[in-house]
Structure 1
Amino acid sequence: MATIPPSGDGHRNGAVRDRSQAQNPVNGNWTKRDTTTGRFIDQKTDGTPFKGVRKEK
């Protein structure tokens, strides 16, 4: 039987809440936003989306 490892081992369980991401049409980078305030939080420069963050349409 599989077991769940102990908490605090350095990885995330489940999706990131209150965040979304969209791809910037100008440079193609993925930008992370806070859904409660609408402010931009972070941007990835390698062209791959953030893990565990839902995508905007």
Structure 2
Amino acid sequence: MAKNKPYGDNARKGAVKDRTQFFNEQTNLWTKRDTENGQFLDNKTSGGKFKGVRKEK
């Protein structure tokens, strides 16, 4: 996983590993998925994409 130190500076050091994101056209939200087992983890409800998570094709 990504390291977020120092805390509070709102910056991520490195990419989030073992996660991908894709745009769900049915819900119009970005969805995060685990790459190891394909499990859906989270939906982005505040708009935009997840920060530091790579996109699926």
Q: TM-score, normalised by structure 1?
A: 0.78
Task: Supply the AA of the counterpart residue of 1:9.
Answer: P
* Residue deviations 1:1-41 (CA, integer Å, cap 9, x gap): xxxxxx73124211100000001110210000000011011
CA contact (8 A) 1:28 1:47 kept: no
Task: Count the aligned residue pairs.
Answer: 51
* 1:14 matched residue in structure 2: 14
Over the aligned positions, Cα root-mean-square deviation in angstroms equals 1.5
Larger Rg: 1
Structure 2: segments with no counterpart, 5+ residues: none
Structure 1: segments with no counterpart, 5+ residues: 1-6
What aligned pairs does 1:31-42 form with structure 2 within 5 A after superposition?
31-42=31-42
* 1:54 matched residue in structure 2: 54
CA contact (8 A) 1:22 1:30 kept: yes
The 2-side partners of 1:27 and 1:33 are apart by 15
Task: Supply the AA of the counterpart residue of 1:47.
Answer: G
Q: TM-score, normalised by structure 2?
A: 0.78
Task: Supply the AA of the counterpart residue of 1:13.
Answer: K
CA contact (8 A) 1:33 1:41 kept: yes
After TM superposition, which residue ranges in structure 1, 4 or more long, deviate above 3 angstroms? none
